[in-house]
Chain A
C-alpha cells in the first residue's frame, strides 16, 4: 500500500505544532471547456503574466496564471459539500449559523476548519496546512485565448441602463480555450493519512473553476507526482520553465492543442531529478502513485465515503474536548 510508503512524512494524528513533514504534489490541470480566470481589479481581462519562458530559454513570454486563491476556494467548497451532506459541519460558536466560508463565523471544529484553516473566528485561528501555489500555462497565452463578441451589460447587470434604454454596445469577451494545460504544485504540511486522502480527493473531485457559470470552467486535475520530505518542491514557475525547455529540446510543437502525453513525459523527466534536491527525500513510483489514487478513489466511493469522513471527523475529537474544557475553566475562574 503506497500510503504506507509516505508514512514517515505523515502525522499519526493531528498535532498543533509543525514538525516539517511535507508532502509535495505535482498537478496537471487541463481545461475541458471554455474557462474564465479574470484578474481582480484593473489590468488585462484574463489573468496573465510576463515571465521567463524557460530556465535556459530566457526570453519573456506571457503565460496564463491560475492564482492560488482560484484553486483552493472551489476545492474547499467541494469537500464541504460532502461534509454538509453527512452533517459534519458544525454550528459556529459566534453566530449560531452553520460553518460557512468567509462569513466571519467558522465553526472551528469541522474537517475543513482543521485542515484548511480559518482566520479571526469566534475564539481562535487555525493556519492552513494545505499550501497552494499560482499555476502557469505551459504555452504562451496568445495561443490559448479565444475572443467572443457579446452585448455589453450595464452595471445594473441587465441589458438596460437606469433609464430603460437598451444596450447597443458590443464588447469582446476573452476566454481560455479548452485543452489548456496548467502545471501546479500543492504542498501538504503535517497531514495525517486521512487528511491526505481528503485533500487529494477534493483536488481530484473538483471539476469547476473560475467565473461561476453553468457552461464554463470545467477542468480536470491529474496527479503526476507525489513526493515526501522535510522541505518543499521547487516552484510551479520553475517547473513550467523546466518543462518548456524540455519540450523545445524534444522538438515538440509548441502550439495549441499541445500533445498531453508529450507534456506528461516532459514533466516526468523534470520532476524525476528533484529527489536530489535539499530536503526532498522520496518520490512515489508510478505504480505506487496509481495505488495511492486507487486508495483515494476507494475512500471517496459511495460505499465508503461516509465511514471515511466520519472517521476523519472523529480524529479531531480529543482536540475539541480540550478546547471546550479549557473555555469552561476560564469562565469558572472569572
Chain B
C-alpha cells in the first residue's frame, strides 16, 4: 500500500460525536459464547455488527466458497477510516436483563427423525440405519439443531457514541435473528483532544480498534467474537473527551489498518 494513503488516516479525524441510545424492540441474540448446548449473548452489542446494521458497509446476501466461513470486516470496515466510527454499545442499566429460550429445528417433511444432532427426512434410510450402516442423512450435523439460548430481553437499552456525519436510520436490525432495535440520536457533542496522560475509559471499546501506540494498564475483558471488548480500560496515551465520556484518541475500525 502506498505510504500517502496510510497517512490519510493519521490526520485528526472527528470533531463531533453523537450519543445514541438503542432500544431493543425485540429480544437480541448473538452467539457470544457456548457452554454445552447453551448459547450465551453477552450484555453488549458489538460495533462491527452496528456498523453493518447502520448501512455503513454492505455484506452480500449470498456467501459462497471461501467467503462462507470468512468475515469481511477488513475489506468492509477499514475504508470507513476518518468518515465513520461507532463504539460497542454498553447497557444503560448496570446489567441488562436476559431471557432463556429453547430452540429446535423442524423439517417441512411429514415424516422426520431426530438423529445425531440432525433432522433426517429420508424414511428409506431408516432400515439402512437399523442394520448399523450410517446413511448420509443420519451423519452428525456441524451446526446445532436443538439447544438453549440466552438472549438480551426486549426493552433493554444500550448506549453508544457515533463519530462522523450523516443521518442514521431510525430502526436497525441486529443479531442472529435480525432483531429490530430503535435508534434514538442525541445532539452532536464536541470531541475534545486531550494530551497523552493516564486515563480511565468509561465506555466499552473494541480491542482490535485501539491505536497501536496506546499503553493499556488494566481492563475487564468481554470475550466475544470477532474481537473481544474491553471495559474499565485504564491506559496511557492521548484521549478524546465527549461530554462525560473519556476514551482513547484516534479509534478506527481495526486500528485503521487495511493490510492483511
Interface residues of A (CB under 8 A from B): 15-18, 20, 39-42, 49, 51, 68-69, 73, 76-77, 80, 95-97, 100-105, 117, 119-120, 123-129, 131, 133-134, 190, 231-238, 277-279, 319, 323, 326-327, 330
Interface core residue of A80, A104, A237 (most chain B CB under 10 Å): A104
Indicate the size class of the contact surface on chain B: 35 or more
- The answer for the CA separation of A279 and B166 in the assembled complex, in Å, is 13
Interface core residue of A73, A100, A127 (most chain B CB under 10 Å): A100
Chain A's closest residue to B153 (CB) is: A49
25 A–B contact pairs at CB < 8 A? A16-B62, A41-B100, A41-B101, A95-B137, A100-B121, A101-B107, A102-B107, A103-B120, A103-B137, A104-B118, A120-B142, A120-B143, A123-B68, A124-B62, A125-B62, A127-B61, A131-B173, A133-B25, A231-B170, A232-B171, A232-B172, A235-B25, A238-B25, A238-B182, A278-B167
Additional 4 contacts, C-beta under 8 A, given A18-B60, A124-B64, A235-B26: A120-B68, A120-B142, A134-B27, A231-B171
> Contact at B180–A102, with CB atoms within 8 Å?
no
Contacts A95-B136, A102-B145 given; does A278 touch B154 at CB 8 Å: no
> Contact at A104–B141, with CB atoms within 8 Å?
yes
Contacts A17-B58, A51-B155 given; does A235 touch B148 at CB 8 Å: no
Specify the main secondary structure of chain A where it touches its partner: loop
- The answer for the CA separation of A100 and B142 in the assembled complex, in Å, is 17
Closest Cβ–Cβ distance, residue A324 to chain B (whole Å): 11
> Contact at A133–B26, with CB atoms within 8 Å?
yes
> Contact at B108–A101, with CB atoms within 8 Å?
yes
6 closest Cβ pairs, A-B complex: A235-B25, A41-B102, A102-B105, A124-B64, A40-B102, A232-B171
CB-defined contacts of B55 to chain A, threshold 8 Å: 18, 20
CB-defined contacts of B155 to chain A, threshold 8 Å: 51
Closest Cβ–Cβ distance, residue B77 to chain A (whole Å): 16
> Contact at A126–B145, with CB atoms within 8 Å?
no
> Contact at A123–B65, with CB atoms within 8 Å?
yes
Interface core residue of B60, B104, B171, B172 (most chain A CB under 10 Å): B171
Closest Cβ–Cβ distance, residue A117 to chain B (whole Å): 8
Among A100, A120, A235, point to the contact of B109 (Cβ < 8 A).
A100
Judged by a CB distance under 8 angstroms, whether B122 is at the interface is yes
Judged by a CB distance under 8 angstroms, whether B35 is at the interface is no
Can you list, as one digit per residue, whether each of B45-88 has a CB less than 8 Å from chain A (1) or not (0)?
00000000001001111111101100000000000000000000
Closest Cβ–Cβ distance, residue A38 to chain B (whole Å): 10
Contacts A95-B137, A129-B61, A323-B64 given; does A278 touch B121 at CB 8 Å: no
Chain B's closest residue to A80 (CB) is: B108
- The answer for the CA separation of A126 and B67 in the assembled complex, in Å, is 11
> Contact at B107–A133, with CB atoms within 8 Å?
no
Interface residues of B (CB under 8 A from A): 25-27, 55, 58-65, 67-68, 100-109, 112, 118-122, 136-137, 141-143, 145, 148, 154-155, 167, 169-173, 177-178, 180, 182
> Contact at B62–A73, with CB atoms within 8 Å?
no
Contacts A41-B100, A73-B106, A97-B137 given; does A123 touch B64 at CB 8 Å: yes
- The answer for the CA separation of A80 and B109 in the assembled complex, in Å, is 11
> Contact at A124–B100, with CB atoms within 8 Å?
no
Chain B's closest residue to A212 (CB) is: B106
> Contact at B102–A97, with CB atoms within 8 Å?
no
> Contact at A235–B108, with CB atoms within 8 Å?
no
> Contact at B154–A237, with CB atoms within 8 Å?
yes
- The answer for the CA separation of A131 and B175 in the assembled complex, in Å, is 12
Closest Cβ–Cβ distance, residue A96 to chain B (whole Å): 7
- The answer for the CA separation of A277 and B168 in the assembled complex, in Å, is 12
- The answer for the CA separation of A103 and B112 in the assembled complex, in Å, is 9
> Contact at A104–B101, with CB atoms within 8 Å?
no
CB-defined contacts of B121 to chain A, threshold 8 Å: 97, 100, 103
Among A18, A133, A238, point to the contact of B58 (Cβ < 8 A).
A18
Closest Cβ–Cβ distance, residue A130 to chain B (whole Å): 10
> Contact at A126–B171, with CB atoms within 8 Å?
no
> Contact at B62–A97, with CB atoms within 8 Å?
no
> Contact at B64–A131, with CB atoms within 8 Å?
no
CB-defined contacts of B106 to chain A, threshold 8 Å: 73, 101-102
> Contact at A126–B62, with CB atoms within 8 Å?
yes
> Contact at B108–A100, with CB atoms within 8 Å?
yes
Closest Cβ–Cβ distance, residue A22 to chain B (whole Å): 10
> Contact at B61–A190, with CB atoms within 8 Å?
yes
- The answer for the CA separation of A39 and B171 in the assembled complex, in Å, is 27
CB-defined contacts of A123 to chain B, threshold 8 Å: 64-65, 68
- The answer for the CA separation of A20 and B172 in the assembled complex, in Å, is 12
Closest Cβ–Cβ distance, residue A113 to chain B (whole Å): 10
> Contact at A326–B64, with CB atoms within 8 Å?
yes
Interface core residue of A69, A80, A235 (most chain B CB under 10 Å): A235
CB-defined contacts of B26 to chain A, threshold 8 Å: 68, 133-134, 235, 237
> Contact at A103–B169, with CB atoms within 8 Å?
no
Contacts A40-B101, A123-B68 given; does A16 touch B120 at CB 8 Å: no
CB-defined contacts of A77 to chain B, threshold 8 Å: 108
> Contact at B65–A126, with CB atoms within 8 Å?
no
Closest Cβ–Cβ distance, residue B181 to chain A (whole Å): 9
Contacts A96-B136, A232-B170 given; does A124 touch B63 at CB 8 Å: yes
CB-defined contacts of A42 to chain B, threshold 8 Å: 100
> Contact at B65–A51, with CB atoms within 8 Å?
no
Chain A's closest residue to B135 (CB) is: A95
- The answer for the CA separation of A107 and B180 in the assembled complex, in Å, is 29
